[in-house]
Structure 1
């Protein structure tokens, strides 16, 4: 997908600049025509000669130096680029881009560009989560910039947290995806993810172990396929995807309300959330004190969101999940009929390697008038892409 693509790699001044050299190399190996622009600070970490050797092209770092007198370099590169990638993107560079400041080669070039721009932040976790940086990233996303979420791990500053530049192989895979066909272009996809919380009192509640990883991966896959995606999620710790609309909820009733608000205009709806089946009949406004002897809490059924969506379905493709510990096929087939869904994705949550919170999953998809399709154990990211492809075919 990257063969003969003109990619401008803009390198910011951070320790992760060394990964940008590996990224440039892998992009060239993938067949892309790579030009590199660097900030002055970036050259404190990696020299221009490194990138020139990897790309076999001149490296740009000064808006007043023209390599070809017949061209204005920053305008020419902006016009030629099929994609601009900023990696690593420092807090300073993100702030400049968000506010339209053009005071060096990179910022002036991006301001003149009409092609897609991808920004990969990399910095200390506290800098990343500072309100100013958060605002700047939100502004970039509002302007149509694609942000790649940084990874979590050991940072060069000694902190452990979010802020790592993804590995070059991951970045190349993400960038390749931007040039893939968009079968869900002009389609609307609604997805739920994570657990719900049913409160007993202000500090106690009923919930489950769902991490939301599967639903979030599905949202990313649908976005990459070109869809307009809305993700309704319960309390999750996972990083939420960029380029989609997110709605945070807590209880099952709140999730139902959020799902119904956008339901009529959807083409594909996927209920991947693990919604609590029961809630306390009484919710106390104050923390209940410990009593002598056993405590009994009366429970009542929550509203069945998937069944409600099935009853109101018009032309949407409706997908539900069946998290089971036994008799997967039997329970999935029954759920398919009872909830009036088009597909049920069944998985065994009793297995630690594919259950809640795992990075991998193994599922079987049961559909109306469709043979069962089994997907072997694999990463939730890859599985999500395969599932979105299957459900997209049902939209045709």
Structure 2
């Protein structure tokens, strides 16, 4: 059994009510064994057959159950769940869940998440043979299959066999190993368009020391750059993340190079450019424009004469350097413009001055630093695209997909 596409991928498993729910436990185990990550959403009826404790132990994540949970819904839990996954799997998929999804009904966490998701959904039906053969159920299945884009439903099973009720026919949920193969095929179908591409991403601030205890820096959290590195890796790219000092975990499947000062970041990027061809460079780090000319070897003490005079010199321009790096220049160089006014004029001027291909501009005067949301405009030589405020994860995924589309074209 091969699962070449599951490593590092995220699966949201929605467990409906039915005797086949016990198979969901084995499915969770198989997905994790194949290198995938699983979050489980247990319906009220599903909890009659399997326990949250068992699912949490196997998945390594808390089990989501209720639509109205304050700790979730303050962050719009059903939206976050629907965006977190690379694929949504419903197993067992009951007649009720299929009907709700086919008709746009959303009255609990499972149905709301299914309506809100922007990822494909794999359905593993399980019900009595008479229920499966009912025209209403078959019409709902046909409706789900007819949807286009990421709303389109893919089905695995049901299998033919003896039911728990003693009847015989089609209605048994597919075995976990078969569902696992269907998951792998669905995730692998065009989900890694950047496979074979190499990317370098810079993220976070730089810290320019004044003395052993003080320095010049900025308010960048690194969240947007880390999200971009994760999104590129999710699309199959080999990603090197050159990071300034931040308090973030390294994204799965990403190699992290830690630096502090701008000169160190520039050297690390140049090392990667010369080590192997780089297709994509996303320079999202907030590099300090200046550094102190001559770092004190000891802590500078307060003196009666007032604060010391600091002589500042310009830091190297990493974005311009990468954009003009000759034979080792990446095929696509993306810069960032964090502005507090005149966003379009400043971003377009930076696009021209730096020599990069794209600029992602954002207005940092509006609660961006350290937050989980961002609103950006992508500037290219051909025009611009403004993206509404959304999570930094969603901004990153949109940018990564835009990069994938660029290379496909």
Q: Which residues of 2 match residues 1-396 of structure 1 at below 5 A?
A: 24=13, 26=14, 28=15, 53=19, 55=21, 57=23, 84-86=30-32, 110=33, 116-118=34-36, 170=81, 173-176=84-87, 179=187, 181-264=191-274, 265-292=277-304, 293-313=306-326, 314-352=329-367, 355-368=368-381, 370-396=382-408
Displacement of 1:349 after TM fit? 0.6
Structure 2: 5+ residue stretches without partners: 7-11, 40-58, 63-76, 88-118, 120-183
**1:300-355, CA deviations, whole angstroms, 9 ceiling, x for partnerless residues?**
00000001111115452000000000111111111111110000000011111xx2
Displacement of 1:216 after TM fit? 0.5
CA distance in 1, matches of 2:256, 2:316: 22
CA distance in 2, matches of 1:277, 1:210: 14
Displacement of 1:54 after TM fit? 5.9
| Number of positions where the alignment pairs a residue of Structure 1 with one of Structure 2 | 263
* 3-state SS of 2:323 partner: helix
Residues 1:228 and 1:315: Cα distance change in structure 2 (over 3 Å)? closer
Residues 1:119 and 1:377: Cα distance change in structure 2 (over 3 Å)? closer
CA distance in 1, matches of 2:80, 2:387: 24
Displacement of 1:169 after TM fit? 6.8
Residues 1:300 and 1:191: Cα distance change in structure 2 (over 3 Å)? same
CA distance in 2, matches of 1:253, 1:149: 40
* 3-state SS of 2:374 partner: strand
Residues 1:356 and 1:150: Cα distance change in structure 2 (over 3 Å)? farther
CA distance in 2, matches of 1:188, 1:356: 28
* TM-score (ref. length: structure 2): 0.58
RMSD, aligned α-carbons: 3.2
Which structure shows the higher helix fraction? 2
Question: In 1, are the aligned partners of 2:28 and 2:38 still within 8 Å (CA)?
Answer: no
* 3-state SS of 1:85 partner: helix
Residues 1:150 and 1:338: Cα distance change in structure 2 (over 3 Å)? farther
Displacement of 1:236 after TM fit? 0.6
Residues 1:172 and 1:324: Cα distance change in structure 2 (over 3 Å)? closer
* TM-score (ref. length: structure 1): 0.60
Q: Give the structure with higher Rg (CA).
A: 2
**1:93-144, CA deviations, whole angstroms, 9 ceiling, x for partnerless residues?**
xxxxxxxxxxxxxxxxx5xxxxx323579xxxxxxxxxxxxxxxxxxxxxxx
Residues 1:374 and 1:222: Cα distance change in structure 2 (over 3 Å)? same
CA distance in 1, matches of 2:349, 2:83: 42
